[in-house]
Structure 1
Amino acid sequence: MEEATLMGSLIEELEAREAAARVRVKELAAQIAELTARLEGEREALSRLRVTRETVAEVLTALSGRDADAGPVAGPDPVGPEVRVVGAIMVPHWREGLSSDVLPDVYRDMVEVVADASSPMQAKQIVPRIGLPAVTGKIEGTRGKLKRLVQRGWLIEDQPGRFAPARRDR
């Protein structure tokens, strides 16, 4: 009889431990879901802030009377005088004889991906091809950069949200 009581107590103890472990797993899963949502929100905020900072730097450069075709922050513009704007990546306007080599890496990658495509592309198609995760924040940040390339004459937006090379002869 003692063995049956001992086995019954052991089974009850195991069931109690299993129930406690199940509660801990459920709590941890809820925490992970909350942290994942917070992380995605922060990534989106970071992307919007980066695009905003770049846009503000461009506007300030234009308002200060400097050349809007300034090159990257790290060094002189390969086609003109050095203009240094701290914290901004500048995309020069396209002009005859200018290759995509003058663009910052990510912009050059976008132009090359679009140029290699057989038809106009959307930002969500371009993001994975330039090595970024296909999440909302990256897609929106990329869309902003693509629109900047359209404004500067590197690409065209033949339909809303569909980007193609401005010149097919490249």
Structure 2
Amino acid sequence: MKTSDYDVDAAMVGLREAMALYRQRLADLDAEYEQVSKVLAGLDAERSDLRALNESLKQALARLPATAGESEGADETGTVEASDIGRATPAAMQPTPGRIDGAKMRSGELAEAITQVMATSGRPMRSREITEVLGREVTRSTVETTRVTAKRLVEQGYLIESEPGLFQAATPAKGAA
């Protein structure tokens, strides 16, 4: 039995439409794949940065003088549980000069780190000293970045500037129950 020309034409049209649909879907998937790849690359970079920062903090902790209570909350690998954050003693906050492993912080991470340093230091500190405690390279630029971030934290109620350039944790800490 012979297929009519109409059936062949209709089949060809249908196949072409299907090919066009699948070609468009493939293009959409390729674009989506590209976007996901960029997100994954960004996540990989952030994960790498956080691992470097964690290692830097672990090295800074190892350089601090041994005092009673300093190792509270840390296991043998130096890992501290989130619930233990803020339990460091003031002695644990002694300045550590120089850059630690070249780790660079984003603005939010810097603000969080400054807030943590001030909450655990138990005393007012100047921008330069905060920069040192954070293990950042002490340059005019990094100290100024620390100062500007601390000023912003004062405006947000997380820190108090008791005198120009002298910062301390707000009492009680913002968000504390």
Q: What's the TM-score bracket when you normalise by the shorter of the two chains?
A: 0.3 to 0.5
Q: TM-score scaled by structure 1?
A: 0.38
Larger radius of gyration: 2
Tell me the TM-score normalized by structure 2.
Answer: 0.36
